[in-house]
Structures are given as C-alpha cells and as structure tokens.
Amino acid sequence: MKLGVVILAAGKGTRMRSALPKVLHPLAGRPLLKHVLDAAQALGAAEICVVYGHGGAQVPAALSDAGCTWVEQTERLGTGHAVEQAMPAMEGMDRVLVLYGDVPLIEPETLNRLVADSAETDLGVLTMTLCEPAGYGRVVRDKRGQVLRIVEQKDASEAELGITEVNTGIIVADCARLGQWLGRVRNDNVQGEFYLTDVIGLATDDGVGVVTAQPERIEEVAGINDRIQLAELERYHQSCLAQSLMRAGTTLMDPERLDIRGSLECDRDVVIDINLVCEGRVRIGANARIGPNCMLIDSEIGPGALVLANSIIEGAKVGAGARIGPYARLRPEADIGAGCHIGNFVEIKKSLVTGGSKVNHLSYIGDCSIGAGVNVGAGTITCNYDGVNKHRTLIGDDAFIGSNTALVAPVEIAPGATIGAGSVICGQAPAGKLTLTRAKQVTFDEWRRPVKLPKPDQDQEN
C-alpha cells in the first residue's frame, strides 16, 4: 500500500501578529511544519506534498531539504480547495492522509492506528471527545452510531452544538475516491469556503462506512493559532521530553526548568540542575553533572564530567572527568581532554586541550594545541589573528604559562618550558627553560602622586 501525505500549511496565522508565516514559528527549536514533516516521514510515506500560501516562497525556502513536493495555494478558498491543489502530486498513491502544518505534536503511532483501523473502508477520520467543544466541527452520528457528516460550528444547529465528539481535520482516504469527493464539494456555507469536512457527508451518501479513531492525548491534535497556544504546547512538549529523560535514568533538579531545542541523549545517572538549554544534538555521558543556567549546543559531554554554573558549550567535546566553569565558554571545535580543568571566564575556540591540563582563570585560547599536564596562568591569551589570517599556537606537555602572558602566533612552546608572568612571546620557547620578556622594574624616588586642588568657595566666586 502506497501512502501519500498532504500537509496543509497555507494559513495566514493572523492571530500570531507576525511577519513570519505561522508554520515557521519554532516549537522546541524546530518550525511547527518540521514536526509534522517528521511525523509523515516516520510513517514511511511514499509521497509528501505541502500546500503553502501565506509567506510565499519563504516556507519552502526555510525547509528546502525536507524532501517533499511543494504546491502553492494562490487563492485560499478553504481546506477542501487546498487538498484539491495537492491531488496531482498524489497520483499513483493508494491512500492519502491529510495533516496540518500548525498541529505539530501528532504522533506517528496515532496516525498508524488510524490508517490500520480504516484499512477495510475508503475513509477514516481522527476525532476526539471534549468537555468544551466550542470552535470545533461536530461529528454527527445516526442512532446506530455510524458517522453521517461533520458540521462546522458556524453552520451547526442548537442540537448539533451539544455534541462533544469533534473533528480534528485529520483524515485518510482512498486516493481515487477522495479526488471524486473533492470535485463535488460546494461552498454554500456561512464562510463561503470549500470544506474538506464535507467529504465525510459525501462519502456516507455514497454508502461508504466511515471509521474513526482517537488520539491518546488531546495535545496531539491541538492546533496553534496564537502565541499563547504556542507557549502552552511548548511547555507540554518539554514536560514530555523531561519525563522521558527521567524514566531513562536522568535526574532533573526541576523538570519544569529544562528546554530541549533539538535532541538530548543522556546515559545513566546524569544530574542536570535548573535552566539547562540544549540546542541541536547534545549527548551527556554517564555520571556527568550539569550545573544551573548552562547552555549546550551540538556538543558531547564525557562520562563523569562536571559543567559548573552559567557555562556555554557550543560545537565542542568535553572529555571524561573534565571540569568546566563556572562562567566558561567553549566555542566550536574546542576539544577538552579527560581530566582537564577549564575555569571561570575562560574562552576556548578551535583548540585541543590534552588530558590533565588546566586553564583556570580569565584566559582566551584560540587555534591552539595544548599538550598534557600544562598549566595556563590567569589572563593568558593566544594572539591568533593578525587581521587577515588565523595562526596556531603549540604548547608542549608539562609546559607552564605564567599569568598575563600573550602568545603571539604562530608560536611554539616546547615541552617542559616555563613562560614568566607578564611576557609577550613571539618566538619558540625551548624545552625545560625559563623564557620571559619583561621590562626592567624602575622606582622613581622623587615622584609624588598628583593631588586634586580644592575648588574655590562658590560664595567667593559670586
């Protein structure tokens, strides 16, 4: 069975009050539409077609690598009209599943169940039962419980408004029959639009039995129309991610203060303090600890590592048992070896720091290779940029770099070398030797500190 998926993403999203198309607003760091595309791909769909409109080329440009067909709905005449625009792309499909770009948390398991439950008929509808169904189309059934039609709230009678089973808008249908029904949909309703929901009534008129299924959780089919609803679904989704981590053996000091905007994979017995933000792909090894208010981006934290408060780690690797922070910043291509210490207000970029070395205070290390057992004193900087090109600094094993040192790259500090505090090193420092550049200290005996003269009395001036 070849399944095609149509995703409707042409809505303007007026209530978002934004120049950004609604389906591109992020939830957990990914556009709403990307969540729906991922669900469709998880089904193994043979063809995915996205119908876009508001924002024009901005939507397909933002998701150009989605591997789907894009169809523009130049006139937004309703959901039925939108699906009809996508039907040429569904040629050769056996069945067509219709999803929505602003309903981001639909689970592939729910969709698989809908497809499977309706396998013996030409039409399946995902519904849900709500205590307060206001705003939704109602599912009208006959006395035997068979679905007759779906009526939109604006077109519903008083009796129909009392129905609590509502339409989610998600349907799966035989491809050929769906095309026929869409051709018969009319726009003689309050909105003057071609409703996809009218397909249900046309199907029952044709004697087709309509099968329904329901999601496990209402949030799966919750649509987003404004920023309040977006924030509510963000918190729900983050709560689900936090629960999943805890079930797998991670301790979260406060599950409500965790934001995963990508993917976070933790081995057992990881401890995460409050306000961690993860972006991209992050992996944390067993027994590692992450302090409060940290940010991890596309990085790997080794087993037993300790990341202290207010540290930012981006595109970096942290080895087993290393200690980072507080207030440290690791930039892309920083590779911190096992047992290393990177301390407060230290920035490291595109550098290798080998096992057991320490850069503990107020330093910048860029384009550098540091050997094992090195101590880098406070205030050390690598002067790696000459205004045009970047140059590398090499520091050998067991070297000692005194505080307030500037290493002007390209430069090499040999193994075991010691650099005196306050030096500017421009050439090779030999192994096992003390190298320093320091002006002679001078004391001026006759010097006196300037004294501020008192201001003239204001009354005398007047």
Where in the sequence numbering do the catalytic residues fall?
361
CA 339 to each of CA 273, 286, 292, 323, 324: distance values in angstroms, whole numbers, following the listed order: 21, 15, 21, 7, 10
Residues 219, 233: Cα–Cα separation, whole Å: 7
Which tokens go with 157?
């009678």
| Structural Rg of the chain based on CA atoms | 32
Q: Which one-letter DSSP state was computed for residue 354?
A: -
79-86 and 175-184 helices, crossing angle to 10°:
130
Check if the beta carbon of residue 303 is closer than 8 Å to that of residue 289: no
Which residues have CB under 8 Å from 400's CB, separation 6+?
A: 374, 375, 377, 417, 418, 419
| Residue 368 amino acid letter | C
**E strands along 319-425, which residues?**
323-324, 329-330, 335-336, 341-344, 347-349, 352-353, 358-361, 364-366, 368-370, 375-376, 381-383, 393-395, 400-401, 406-408, 411-413, 418-419, 424-425
Which tokens go with 283?
């992996």
Rounded to an integer, what is the distance from CA 262 to the centroid of its chain?
Answer: 4
- Bridge partners of residue 385, in order along the sequence: 390
Q: Which one-letter DSSP state was computed for residue 316?
A: -
21: preceding bond cis by omega (within 30 degrees):
no
Which tokens go with 202?
């046309």
Which residues have CB under 8 Å from 454's CB, separation 6+?
A: none
Which tokens go with 102?
């602003």
